[in-house]
Amino acid sequence: MADSTKTATLSFGDTTIELPMYSPSAGPDVIDISKLYAQGGVFTHDPGFTSTSSCESTITFIDGGKGELLHRGYPIDQLAEKSHFLEVCYLLLYGELPTAAQLEDFEFRVTRHTMVHEQMGNFFRGFRRDAHPMAVMVGVVGAMSAFYHDSTDVNDPWQREVAAIRLIAKMPTIAAWAFKYTIGQPMVYPRNDLDYASNFLRMCFAVPAEDYEVDPILARAMDRIFTLHADHEQNASTSTVRLASSSGANPFACIAAGIACLWGPAHGGANQACLEMLREIGTVDRIPEFIARAKDKNDPFRLMGFGHRVYKNFDPRAKVMKKSADEVLELLGVENNPTLQVAKELEAQALADPYFAEKKLFPNVDFYSGIILEAMGFPTSMFTPIFAVSRTVGWVSQWKEMISDPTMKIGRPRQLYTGSTARDYVDVEDR
Ligand code: CMC
């Protein structure tokens, strides 16, 4: 725990309370209100947690004003440029960049866990073919606790380690199989001689009748998408994983809860919603109409892929993603892709508009990712599952950090109750 070097004074009525304050290594000071109810008999109220730190963490830091994202101190643009996904996984999980030997060992461990229990195939086949792959992932990942009993004891550090590796290793297989199932093709088994991204692409696009040659540039772009989504401190799905885990629930159940939360369009579902929006706009001449709708208070429409709770400047991930979109589309010979043209023009018009400037709304990571994924051959329904594959390491790292903290408590928020006070039951004939 950071040292308390100063205090904040809170006064209400006749009560004055000194609250400890902590200075983090980066970011605003934090007032500790954990003893407030015991000392002052009041709660704080912060729906949506806009001003509340829910935990102490050393993993990821975001400076929303500067548009900075650091994993264990390393800027995301450097990691996206110079590192690769499994190295970033190691960094998030263990706190430091690995030596060559540590990386080799880690890659070996992940690669040797990529297969899923053979009986899990039957589980997939229980779903309707038209199920959304996210629905399948929520179910199958939750069901991992029924298949891997030897890594569900959260009090055993070794079992926690095995569960972490299993989740990171098997998630691409589960996402690829969910995809294969919905398109009626046979599931493709992982191949351990391929790197993480190439293996995922092959499991998605190979068929028994014809193998899939993985293009190294596409594999690099896929790896970069995984890297850019790997962790994002206490976002909604990560906080869901932490809250679910705080009861001592097993890791597979908790990660399934994270996947369920990620699915929503305000969170990971925004990449699918964004591409559908760009397609709906269709041509650049229709952009002003959609910008006008996004600004209209009486219209629930929002520009998907725009805005962020924390970033009040460019999302640094969006910058890398935009560059990657250009590279991938050029490689595939689709530079004149109409969706990319609409996206670029929409970004330019929105950024020049005072509404978006005043509210500090900038493109986020989801604005360009869908264009890359579509160009690679993924349907929109696979965009959020790919986000889930990437974010698994973030969820797992945050979960491991929380469980190994001896001061961990079950998460249990309080409320501002505005319902009826106690009243007597009335028999049905008297109502
Ligand atoms: N289009 C139009 N107006 C917007 C948008 C948008 N995309 N985002 C926010 N606003 C307006 C909003 O109407 C509000 O206006 P006012 O103050 O007049 O009521 C103001 O900006 C603040 O919005 P908010 O909803 O209070 O902000 P929030 O921090 O609760 O929401 C957000 C953040 C990401 C949910 C929101 O910006 C949004 O819905 N964006 C579109 C969905 C999206 O792209 N989500 C992906 C987020 S990044 C990937 C991830 O981490 O999952």
CATH number of the domain at 253, please: 1.10.580.10
Q: Place 2 in a pLDDT band, splitting at 50, 70 and 90.
A: low
Same domain, 111 and 243: yes
Give the distance (Å) from ligand 1 centre to CA of residue 347: 15
Q: What is the residue with the minimal CA distance to atom 24 of ligand 1? A: 309
pLDDT exceeds 80 at position 165 = yes
Angle at 172 between CA 92 and CA 57, to 5 degrees: 20
Q: Whose CA is nearest to atom 2 of ligand 1?
A: 302
Taking CA atoms only, the protein residue closest to ligand 1 atom 40 is 307
423, part of any domain:
no
Q: Token pair 């998630």 is at which residue?
A: 171
pLDDT of 86 reads 98
Of 134, 309, 351, 365, the one to substitute when testing ligand 1's pocket (max ligand atoms within 8 A of C-beta) is 309
Roughly what angle, to the nearest 10 degrees, separates helices 85-94 and 216-228?
Answer: 20
pLDDT of 142 over the 80 cut = yes
How far is the CA of 261 from the CAs of 56, 121, 338, 387, in angstroms?
22, 24, 31, 12
User: Whole-angstrom Cα distance, residue 198 to residue 127?
Assistant: 27
Q: Which residue has the tokens 């004891």?
A: 153
Interval between CA 72 and ligand 1 midpoint (Å): 27
Mean pLDDT of the 172-193 span: 96
143, 15: one domain: no
Domain harbouring 35, CATH code: 2.20.28.60
- Note whether 121 and 250 are same-domain residues: yes
Whether residues 244 and 96 share a domain: the answer is: yes
Contacts by residues 336-341 (CB-CB < 8 Å, ≥ 24 positions apart): 337/371, 337/375, 338/282, 338/283, 339/275, 339/278, 339/279, 339/371, 339/374, 340/371, 341/284
Q: How many angstroms does the Cα of residue 310 sit away from the middle of ligand 1?
A: 10
For residues 11 and 40, what is the distance between their CA atoms, to the nearest angstrom? 10
Is the C-alpha dihedral spanning 373, 374, 379, 380 positive or negative? positive
12 shares its domain with 97: no
Q: Give CA 19 to chain center in angstroms.
A: 33
| Ligand 1 pocket test target in 234, 308, 312 with most atoms within 8 Å of CB | 308
In a domain, 337, yes or no: no
The pLDDT of residue 75 is above 90: yes
Q: So which residues are the catalytic ones?
A: 308, 366
pLDDT of residue 1: 64
Task: Name every protein residue with a CB atom under 6 angstroms from any ligand 1 atom.
Answer: 232, 235, 266-268, 270, 294, 302-309, 359, 361, 364-366
Q: How far is the CA of 266 from the centre of ligand 1 (A)?
A: 8
Cα of 359 vs centre of ligand 1, distance in Å, is: 9
Residues 86 and 40 in one domain: no
* Domain, as residue range, for 81: 72-227+238-263+389-404
Which among 290, 291, 311, 364 is the best mutation to test ligand 1's pocket, defined by most ligand atoms within 8 Å of the CB? 364
Q: Are 20 and 106 contained in the same domain?
A: no
Q: What is the mean pLDDT of the chain?
A: 94
The percentage of residues in the chain with a pLDDT greater than 70, rounded to a whole number, is 100
The pLDDT tens digits of the residues spanning 90-131 come to: 999 999 999 999 999 999 999 999 999 999 999 999 999 999
Claim to verify: residue 47 and residue 104 sit in the same structural domain: no
The total domain count for the chain is 2
Q: Global pTM?
A: 0.93
Does residue 178 form part of some domain?
Answer: yes
